[in-house]
Amino acid sequence: MNEKEFASYLDSWIEPKRDEIVDCLLRLLRIPSVGTEAVDGKPFGEEVDKALRFVTQEAERFGMKTKNVDGYAVHAEIGSGEEMAMTLTHVDIVPIGSGWTKDALGEVSEGYVYGRGAQDNKGPTVACLYALRALKESGVPLKRRVRHVVGGNEESGFRCVRHYFEV
Of the residues 5, 154, 155, 166, only one is catalytic, namely 154
Q: Is 23 exposed, middle or buried (0-12, 13-18, 19+ CB in 10 A)?
A: middle
Measured distance CA(104)–CA(93) in Å, rounded: 11
Of the residues 92, 103, 107, 166, only one is catalytic, namely 92
DSSP state of 39: B
Is 154 catalytic? The answer is yes
Measured distance CA(56)–CA(52) in Å, rounded: 6
Q: Taking the CA atoms of the chain, what radius of gyration do you get in angstroms? A: 16
3-state secondary structure of 156: helix
Is 70 catalytic? The answer is no
Measured distance CA(27)–CA(131) in Å, rounded: 18
Residues carrying an active site annotation: 92, 154
